[in-house]
Amino acid sequence: MNTNYDNKLKSLYSSISPGKPIMSSDLANLGISSDLAVYYVKAGWLERLSNGVYLKPQSTLEFKACINVLQKKIKGLHIGGKSALEQYGIRHYLSKSPTTYLYSWDTVKLPDWFASRYNCELQRKRIFRESHDLLLHVSHFDYKDDNNLVSEPERAVLELLSGVGVSQSLTESEEILEGALNLRPDIITTLLQHCTSVKTVRLFLEIAEKLSLPVYEEIKDQKFPSGSASNWVWRNKDGNTLVLRP
């Protein structure tokens, strides 16, 4: 290998972290062409995960690092709903094979190199009036820049409830919300006012009142976009009916 190739390899190794996927665009920024990347793979200096995706040899792919990379590729990607609530300690029980629930702005497919290694479910959710580059109350976990983007607890609750009647059990949702005792009134108020899902707004208010959540007493006299004066009725394919009053 000539000196130029050697210098590029040293630059590559000094700039990548073990466990973090390396994209072809990262290599290009270091002046490493696709042909040179192929050479590095054959020589054992790079491991190829998929077309245009590489890993530092003898390192294990890390979930957190993968999410950080995918967040740069997929609009609005963040950990939300049940998975976000679990990170904040709001859960009913721990699953032996937990699914990580991801949310995005557009309908996309997770890349095979990621989906084949991690049990994740990606949903397109647009239940708030917002933009993909300025999501309401989605932040770096523990507010550290090197952490994944995660829904704050109040948003995660509404994302969870938005799936009730579709992919989420109402009973389990209520059991999870029993532990949501520290929801912030100002944050939940903002999110409810920007929520475009009548079902989600009504369901949250109904469950919060039923469980006597502390936040309910703080917001119960406010007006939220809960639709018309009639009941909201939904029936699933099994014939079960969900009725939410205005």
Statement to judge: residues 7 and 81 lie in one domain: no
Chain centroid offset of residue 129 CA: 18
Domain of residue 125: give its range: 63-244
Statement to judge: residues 43 and 106 lie in one domain: no
CA distance 62 to 183: 31
Statement to judge: residues 34 and 141 lie in one domain: no
- Please state the φ and ψ torsions of residue 198, each to the nearest 5 degrees: -60, -45
Strand partners, 101: 121
Place of tokens 């792919």: 61
Statement to judge: residues 108 and 44 lie in one domain: no
Statement to judge: residues 185 and 123 lie in one domain: yes
The order of strands in the sheet holding 78-79 is 120-124, 100-104, 78-79, 149-151, 138-140
Q: For residues 152 and 187, is the Cβ–Cβ distance under 8 A?
A: yes
Please give the tally of structural domains in the chain. 2
Statement to judge: residues 19 and 118 lie in one domain: no
CA distance 225 to 216: 16
Statement to judge: residues 38 and 14 lie in one domain: yes
Domain boundary residue, one of 12, 35, 55:
55
pLDDT for 116 equals 93
Residues in the chain with pLDDT values less than 70: 1-5, 94-97, 142-146, 227-246
Statement to judge: residues 167 and 239 lie in one domain: yes
Q: For residues 126 and 99, is the Cβ–Cβ distance under 8 A?
A: no
CA distance 191 to 136: 7
Statement to judge: residues 74 and 121 lie in one domain: yes
Helix, strand and coil in the chain, % to nearest 5: 40, 15, 45
Angle between helices 153-162 and 185-193 (to 10 degrees): 40
Statement to judge: residues 144 and 226 lie in one domain: yes
pLDDT for 12 equals 81
Statement to judge: residues 20 and 136 lie in one domain: no
Statement to judge: residues 81 and 134 lie in one domain: yes
CA distance 153 to 89: 10
